[in-house]
Structure 1
């Protein structure tokens, strides 16, 4: 799945998830899009002589829904067609760097080649420092992020993130959620593109300085020399010998220099044009070897990485929303909902309700893996010591609580926190209201008690970095299941 297809798929998911009451996309719209996508995916697979895949289906379905929404809302159609992010930056930055490099050494005397030129020495020194920093950063364990902050990456990914006006509330909410999610999903691709651009800009900056040096030499005769308050001729000779060593080794035709020549050039004494050209060639070749070529190589590697990510965008299709759609066409493996009850034992009726909820949320072929109940007050590490929390085949890991229980930070919260730190895809929270409703009844006067306990669980789960999904395992169809855009199952009310 390439970047554009992934963008459309994520956009449709965000809108469908935000449109919980089906105000923007009716049931008929969604069913029609799925039927049409299934047929188009079958034709596409037949043309390529392959089996129908989840990628084909999602691509066709997202295109169908975006087309329909675009026909109803011109503002949405314009949003769907526009390119996100700040695309002009990728071209403008290298161009501005070239221009800056071309004018940087004009601060000094344009008729002079300073052997201790601060601009040229800073260009070389800075790039060598960057290479060293990249090497150290690559060797630091656990460090996988670059220098760019999340705000910069978000701006480069989605631009100003302004939602068009005159959109229905669910659609506006969906677009807002989409831009936040897309900024997170496209972060690796944006980092690769930013790395490519920065390396190209650094190479162009050095190329601008080289071009300026040679261009001025065509019309002016350079005066070559050096001056320093603290360095003598021997020290300058040593410095320049080390500086120009790579260029002299790579290009044998470049002439070396002696200590006597360096001494003679002190205080800006003039030399012949041929001698001036020698120093221009030495500086140009050094910039080429130490700055331009390494930066171009690094830019090339970043470009390959960006192209690979753009062609195969890293979208996790094992998430509940995608698994449910894949199940509708018989693609992929059945989803698996792993449930970890806490201080709550399910009877046969509630076990059947759990399977019904899994089928509604994850597809009719979804399976349930019900783990043993975690006793109240026991340390999570002791209870879960034999549970592989990052088991590859698990689609969603959910903790099951009873609404009849009062949430406690040191027990329920500790259990949630332990799982949250160890389950890579995040933990869903299911709160079953049936024990409380069964105990107090469904009279109108008791509804306030249920609502009060529900609000308490919502606040509690929010404090622990997740959201509560309320279900009734004795009446699994009581609440409609709508899959959200996050890693957890959605809230049902």
Structure 2
């Protein structure tokens, strides 16, 4: 059943950083300059063993442990290459720069605040000085922005912006030769991916630094004022062209209201403001200056330093929490491809049909096409990583009912349908099953691997994204390997048949051929007897080969004799040939070329029909006429190849039909395809078969390859 998997993983910062660096290395190092493909495969194997103690043959894989081990080993492998590659591996740690910014920048701002020039002359301080009021006003505005930000979260295209910025920086350094192309690309991609994955974390750390710097600036300014008050006497007052004492009183009351509200102090009164106005003959009072210094220091503490320190502490706490909860998308294409090598996929197919015979045919195909020894268990494909495609018979389409539990029994429902439109009209029923379905049209599974490949593509298309891509590709390759293995074994049997047949023909002495050519051959002559015996032995070889082919494809080998008899009946020499079949056969050419279409038997070529007729004791006069022609032995060899391919088609068709159902005759189109395939490769066939002798121990691989090409085309084309 479907495996529950979360694509988003919450990791600590160190592990997440290694995973992102691993991703950047593999995505940027497309030419294997940092790590070769063999090294990466070895790392996969070592990481799997290290994370599980051994390579798990099946079952779930601890994804996080595997990725952790894999990232460590990959980064260490890059680091061992030495400089300059080690600079790439160094990205797995944040380095001293982050701590330098976090601590050093606020200290620098504090020193600047202390050493900054005073906003007024040493002996005169204007209470309305814009810099003095701006420090407070700016912080109040920032608090308002932060308040709004808690309710409004604009979505920024941060990863795309970071990608563009860092690509520009990498291109700049690359043009100046500071970094190698691969290392610059890795650094660029890493920073882009890292900032995209830790946007929230980086923002909290940025806020912590900014709030700390703001508090440091306020503290530095307060220290500057306090130190100045210790070594000199301030003349504090105000002057303005547009404001009168009442306006100034209101401004100061507003700014100092937090201090008055929190501390048992009194602000400036209107009388104080009128007295402190800079005017000719005005006398500076130390008490007024001291009052303003304490009020302003308290204001900086209340409005700037303390709130900023609280905000910095809050941001620091959130950053620490965020550093333990970095989210990495393990469902991205990259991690899906990495995990596809180790995380098994298990898919269960439900087989249904419109009619009972459709259902039985589909079940039979999956049973015959399954893994040897596992057909009874319903295993259709499996891999060493534990991937499986299983099947179960779900029953007739009209008998299906919605699942009682939360999950369906199957991941995909396959519906064998003669009338696909009728299945589509059952949309409400199929929707109630809560499982995707794929229609299997009548005859689709008789198209060989081409039909299966299309079915697998359709299954993958309706599965969740988790199954698709490289992970499901393993199962496709497993199915293809099963079919390829059967095809290879079948072609080996055909090649062995043709080798033995060619050797059998070589046992007939030239005298025997000449005796048979004489005057109708002199029935019962030594030459004819030798040839008859050879042809009879060929039929035995063909019977044994057909039995082996049936066994390879999961059919009953005991049917070989019956199928061979049926094949011989189909190719009676006295069978009438329609104009359509004659045209098909003529298009095939091959062994019948130039020897007359009227001798064709239902699409069978002249040589094969003659061989069967001679072995059965019929058509002898016709065989004589053929064998008098030049190249009679070649025609017989070509006919043997055609017969071998027809035996393969018979075995495949028989295996595709449930037991108890008679196999229909081979279609004329399929026969014509066989003729055409052999005719197109006639020269190669004769060269390979003609070179075989009695000392050959095995047919050449070239013959198996040639037969495979012709068999696949004939099977899928017919």
What is the aligned counterpart of 2:292 among 272, 275, 279? 279
1:113–1:224 contact (8 Å) kept in structure 2:
yes
Deviations along 1:78-111, one digit per CA (max 9) or x if unpaired, are 2322556963443443234323333445141123
Unaligned stretches of 5+ in structure 1?
44-50, 368-493
Partner of 2:221: 209
Partner of 2:269: 258
TM-score (norm 1): 0.60
What is the aligned counterpart of 1:318 among 320, 327, 331? 331
Q: What's the offset of the Cα at 1:292?
A: 1.6
SS of equivalent to 2:329? coil
- Matched pairs, number: 354
Partner of 1:8: 18
Matches within 5 A, 1:256-405: 256-267=267-278, 269-326=282-339, 328-330=341-343, 348-353=452-457, 361-362=470-471
Determine if the alignment matches structure 1 residue 59 to structure 2 residue 68. Answer: yes
Matches within 5 A, 1:155-194: 162=173, 173-194=185-206
What is the aligned counterpart of 2:154 among 140, 143, 146? 143
Deviations along 1:366-395, one digit per CA (max 9) or x if unpaired, are 89xxxxxxxxxxxxxxxxxxxxxxxxxxxx
Highest relative contact order (Cα 8 Å, sep 6+), 1 or 2? 1
2:260–2:267 contact (8 Å) kept in structure 1:
yes
Change (3 A) 1:151 1:10: closer
Partner of 2:716: none
Determine if the alignment matches structure 1 residue 78 to structure 2 residue 87. Answer: yes
Unaligned stretches of 5+ in structure 2?
1-10, 54-59, 348-386, 388-410, 413-434, 439-443, 445-449, 462-466, 477-718
Change (3 A) 1:166 1:326: same
Partner of 2:606: none
1:75–1:165 contact (8 Å) kept in structure 2:
no
TM-score (norm 2): 0.43
What is the aligned counterpart of 1:131 among 119, 136, 143? 143
| 2-structure distance, mates of 1:92, 1:153 | 29
Bigger Rg, which one? 2
Q: What's the offset of the Cα at 1:124?
A: 0.7
Deviations along 1:269-292, one digit per CA (max 9) or x if unpaired, are 444434422211100111111122
1:9–1:62 contact (8 Å) kept in structure 2:
yes
1:105–1:209 contact (8 Å) kept in structure 2:
no
1:98–1:201 contact (8 Å) kept in structure 2:
yes
Determine if the alignment matches structure 1 residue 220 to structure 2 residue 324. Answer: no
| 2-structure distance, mates of 1:312, 1:217 | 49
Q: What's the offset of the Cα at 1:205?
A: 1.2
What is the aligned counterpart of 1:196 among 208, 217, 220? 208
Determine if the alignment matches structure 1 residue 230 to structure 2 residue 239. Answer: no
Change (3 A) 1:355 1:84: farther
2:238–2:277 contact (8 Å) kept in structure 1:
yes
| 1-structure distance, mates of 2:198, 2:129 | 42
SS of equivalent to 2:236? strand
The structure in which a higher percent of residues are helix is 2
Q: What's the offset of the Cα at 1:59?
A: 1.4
2:238–2:276 contact (8 Å) kept in structure 1:
yes
1:114–1:224 contact (8 Å) kept in structure 2:
yes
